[in-house]
Amino acid sequence: MTSRANVTDRRTVAAGLLFGAGIAASMIDLFIFHLWLQWHHFYDRSTPHVGLIADGFFHAVGWFITVAGLFLLADARRRGGVHWPRWIGAVLSGVGAFQLLDGVLNHQILRIHQIRYGVDLLLYDTIWIGTAIAALLVGLLVLSRTRPR
């Protein structure tokens, strides 16, 4: 693969990873769990006011990552095109990596981003971490199968 094609491929993968992580943070977590269901805030170990401020910073970073991924995607398209199946594999990997990091680090280890309180979290955590692993594995498989020769 030529150097230019290699740069475009790396940018395509980086764009997908950032976009996927940003979508997981902003769309899935923000819109479903924070706004629609109103189950929790990013940081729940203080007042509701602090929780809302923490949500704001968390989701601002999520949107920043999403937009950065789109800028990289636009740059990859300008440089010579995007191999869309490869980008989709990177997006799935980004979603899975974010969910896995969130589910293990924030939910289990730090316990700063819990889903609801006073309920058994085993089913929720199993589904959250299980879907994270599934998305990550499918994404990595697609990336592996679409690797340029």
CA distances from residue 134 to 31, 51, 121, 128, 129 in whole angstroms, order as listed: 22, 30, 19, 10, 9
pLDDT the model gives residue 44: 67
Q: Please indicate, yes or no, whether the overall pTM of this predicted structure exceeds 0.85.
A: yes
Q: Are 52 and 127 in contact (CB under 8 A)?
A: no
- Does pLDDT of 120 surpass 90? no
Rounded to whole angstroms, the Cα distance separating 30 from 137 reads 24
pLDDT the model gives residue 117: 66
pLDDT tens digits, one per residue of 3-26: 777 888 999 999 999 999 999 988
Q: Are 101 and 29 in contact (CB under 8 A)?
A: no
Spell out the domain ranges in the chain. Answer: 3-145
Which residues, in sequence order, are CB contacts of 68 under 8 Å at separation 6+?
18, 22
pLDDT tens digits, one per residue of 39-66: 666 666 777 788 778 778 888 999 999 9
112: DSSP letter: -
